[in-house]
Chain A
Amino acid sequence: MFNNFDYCAPETLIELLNILGTKKSSSILAGGTDLLVNIRSGKLKPKNVIDIKKIKSLNTIKKVKHGIEIGASVTMNDISRSPHFTGPYSVLKQSASVMGCFEIRNRATIAGNIINASPGAETLTPLSVLQAELIIQSRSTTRTSHVSEFIKGVNKTALKNNELLTSVLLPSYPPDTKGIYMRRQRVKGMDLASINCCLLIINPGKLSKREVRFSLGTVATVPYRSKKAENILSYSKIDTNSINEAADIINSEISPRASSMRATPEYKRSMVRHFLKTGIQRILGGPF
């Protein structure tokens, strides 16, 4: 059951940051697809709920000098429909368009998905390989962070009580950069990812400049990238052996939770190899 809370919906960012700076035990309401679930289950009992949907500046996707900036309250369906997410950025669109169900995607926001910090969060693996900059503001400061340092654990982030994640900046990449988002799920309809991943290959056509990035969800408490595995696949010829070697390295580094109801550790390890093989095959041509 819902406990009582104070609700406010400021119309400017400054007003909002002021409120955050003064009111303790505040929860931000954007789409509410996690907040309401957590309040219903009793996991959260906020005293204040601050709705950010009325702040127009947080609800835009815009092309900026060095990439694309996505406002905090941009929804999954906004991303799915936006013309901006092509080439390297298409991975974010791919992930946003399979999250939850259509109704959820109408509500769920990019910032909410990041801050909920679920190990299988749909947008975290694309944001991790794209090395997105998370722009974080408080009444007195503005700072940036990356997924790798911002996500601290299951439902844990480096966000402070007085801060708001205001936008996400996707840096620019060579235009032929290609990426793919993949997931396994138990049923074809609405389901959380049993395991998900994002593969990004920068300069796929130029071996000497080719960089491979690969981020996995649900295999650790945070999106997982193996520098060692990425190094094996980057700047050199990729064949079955190198893919297997990279998969072996990742599988030796991760230790997926045995108690997961969505996939066994053994299955996740098989999928790591499968994702790497099919992902690379689809971007570079195969077979491997």
Chain B
Amino acid sequence: MKYSHIGKSINRVDAVEKVTGQARFIADIKFPNSLTVRLLRSPYAHALIKTVSTFNADKIPGVLKIVTGKDIQYKSGTIINDINIMASEKVRFAGEIIAAVIAESEEIADLALDKIKVEFDELPAVLDVYEAIKTDAPLVHDDIASNIFHHYKLRKGDMYSGFKNSHIIIANEFSVPHLSHVQLETHGCAARWSPEGMLELTSSSQSPFIVREYLAKIMKLPQSKVRVHIPYVGGGFGGKSDLTIEPLIACLARFVPGRWVRLILTREEAFYGTVLGRGMKGKIKTGVSKDGTIMAEEIKMYFNAGAYGDFCIPIISGGGQNSPGPYSCSNIKVDSYGVYTNTPFVGAFRGYGHPEGNWMKERQLDIIAHKLSMDPIDIRLKNCWKLSDVNHIGQRVTGAASKIDTCIKKAAKAIGWNKNRSHVRKGTKIYAQGISCFMKSPVMATNATSCAAVKLNPDGSLNLSVGTIDIGQGSLTALTQICAERIQLPLEKINISRETDTDFSPYEWQTVASRGTWSVGNAIINACDDAIKKIKINAALAFDVNRDDIIYKDAHVYVKGKSSRKIPIKKLCNGYTFKDGSTKGCYAAGNGSFIPFISRPDPSTGMGNVAAEWTGGCQAVELHIDTQTGHVHIDKFVTVIDAGKIINPSLAKGQITGAVVQGLGSALFEKIIYSHEGRIRNDHLTDYKIPTIKDFADTIMEVHFIETHEDNAPFGARCLGEHGIVSVPSVVANAISTATQIDFFDLPIIPDKLLSELDRKRLNDV
């Protein structure tokens, strides 16, 4: 198929606005007469609040209101609603909000904040999942009998007979620490209640319609009376999805109707005052036959959800569901638990449960291959999904999901995989390669709808509106390309709305799960078709023929068989005007929606038509380790992914490369460090290290696309976004283990750990 706009690396439509600083983010917006908020947060990870004394701080001129937990009766969340917007009786993590001061200025708010005194009764805190599931562990929530608040089960085949028929059985334990998203833009929100009881809110959210639905529900307002506006957003990675500070700001604004209440989080608050990512300890036991076929697998995952579990539930289920990876196995038992602890709570983070399972499974495969003296590539080729396989949740493997083997072979070729070479020493350096596969499904609600609206203008140009947010991933550009291709207009005639507003924008579930191009793209195609249908209605009137005889091509219409007389669509956008001025027909605005067909899993087996699609691939790395310093240098990193048709190769490559670099951070540097008492010690960029521009500047980054056409998708495009991060830690660790002959089970692999393991091995080897 020859396309005009699809598959072309056009420049981002928002490039100039962003590089010239014109793009407007929430911190750039002046809210007239706005009030500021300062928050009093708990220094303790677990404590009863005895008293909160405000000592007339609300009498300070310029202080409008001091709000404490007792003033807010709502809880936050979208599933089990267990999140206290503000603590009233007990605090469950260090950083939890106890009081808020609403004042005319930060200086005044600080004066008031200093006056507020809280008396606590400190309770023992529990930070580790294995500690938290012990019977005598302190309970984070007293209303349930243990700290386990969610359990996802996957039961397929007969695990016991599978193990019985195995040649070897290997069991290992793994862990992934809590991480922070570190978006360039910290979270911001401003809200105002109008005198007639409408709520207006501007936020840096990825999920305006979730925010609207939630606020309307708790405030008992029709959704039409809650307006959520999203300007440009400076990075999300899942950390701005669902709800973050919006419930708090909406509740605070209610105390001062008519005034805007605005809060932009500090970097420190972005660590403990929003959501963290990952945090899992797990066990994997795998039985394989002599030839390396996976016979049975038992996986246990304990997700450290922190103090509140609501946003973690789909991560726990989705993470468990996808933990076996893109491999066939007839006998699987997965138990994935959500565990409360006294840390800040966890939410979505790029990868959404998949990197945790991948870390265990892909390391495990290398360990097994080593035991069987098999090549890591061969064990993967042997077990990976093939066309028509029934996967672990009972779905049949079709199309692009069946091309894992192609991806493995291509990745091996690109990295120059040498079967006979395990590692190479050059002086004080050891070189090695690693390989890992990945797959991800969009874990989402069963009614995760996307909508789009196109409005053809009387000059033949077009306005496109969607409810998805460009959080940096480039959706504004890719979606413009899809629209241009379908409506057959030049790109420069199309303008996509830069900001999203629930009052004007089409509905969108939320900007998560890498699904924008695929899901919103489908909605745009439907919207374009709807507009074309209206053009044809007008054209039929103009030509006085049957609508079915109208051909739409290159922004013109003509009657079938009579292409010599064409009418440009600009004459048909606003009905059709006859010579005498009379106008008939309709306005050519199109609406489209897309609802994926999925259902909930069977609660007893965890299986079912759960995943709308699977996108997978393979990553390979060549790296070297400095045995004197423990430094790991990534020489080359290859990603091969079958994401169907690629709409914009340059942006798609950018998404993968960004995900790889973020993944390298979690493989080699990143970790939230807690004090014994449960406070985050590195709640700042001085000691929470993410990769800098210099770290992988000399790494050869290759991204290869296998473009297997996906049916019922915009020009055959599938999901792409998070996928690049899923197997980065495992592929790096696989290479490090090949280099050092030491297995690593915990992330990140910092030089200190690597060097001490190397020293231990040197001593043992002597």
Contact = CB atoms under 8 A, between A and B. Distances in A.
Interface string B614-650: 0000000000000011100000000000000000000
Contact of B689 (A186, A264, A267): A186
A184 B628 CA distance: 12
Interface string A266-284: 1100110010001000000
Interface stretch (A9-17, A73-81, A187-195): A187-195
B752 A187 contact: no
A187 B756 contact: no
Nearest to A184: B629
Contacts, number: 48
A190 B692 contact: yes
Contacts of A191: 689
B687 A187 contact: no
A270 B755 contact: yes
Looking at A184, A192, A261, which has the most chain B CB atoms within 10 Å of its CB?
A: A261
Contact of B695 (A189, A261, A267, A270): A189
Question: In terms of DSSP, what is the predominant structure of the interface of chain B?
Answer: loop
Interface in A12-62: none
Nearest to B697: A188
| Interface bin, chain A | 10 to 19
A188 B682 CA distance: 18
Nearest to A190: B692
A261 B630 contact: no
A187 B665 CA distance: 9
Question: In terms of DSSP, what is the predominant structure of the interface of chain A?
Answer: loop
Given A1-B110, A188-B695, A189-B695, A267 B755 contact: yes
A267 B692 contact: no
B753 to A, nearest CB: 8
A152 interface: no
A1 B756 contact: no
Contacts of A198: none
Contacts of A186: 669, 689, 750
A41 B434 CA distance: 44
Nearest to B676: A259
B756 A266 contact: yes
A243 interface: no
B106 interface: yes
Given A186-B669, A188-B694, A189-B693, A271 B756 contact: no
Contact of B629 (A190, A192, A266, A271): A271
B257 interface: no
A267 B751 contact: yes
Nearest to B107: A1
A271 B631 CA distance: 12
B691 interface: yes
B693 A261 contact: no
A263 interface: yes
B756 A261 contact: no
Interface string B97-113: 00000000011001000
A262 B106 contact: no
B691 A270 contact: no
Interface in A124-181: none
A1 to B, nearest CB: 4
Given A267-B752, A270-B755, A187 B695 contact: yes
A274 B628 contact: yes
A168 to B, nearest CB: 26
Contacts of B630: 267
Contact of B681 (A192, A261, A264, A278): A261
A188 B692 contact: yes
A216 to B, nearest CB: 16
A1 B755 CA distance: 42
Interface string B722-763: 000000000000000000000000000011100110010000
Nearest to A189: B692
Contacts of B110: 1
7 contacts: A186-B669, A187-B690, A187-B692, A188-B692, A189-B694, A264-B752, A274-B628
Given A189-B693, A189-B695, A262-B687, 8 more contacts: A1-B107, A1-B110, A186-B689, A187-B669, A189-B692, A261-B673, A266-B752, A270-B756
Interface of B: 106-107, 110, 628-630, 669, 673, 681-682, 686-687, 689-695, 750-752, 755-756, 759
Interface of A: 1, 184, 186-192, 261-264, 266-267, 270-271, 274, 278
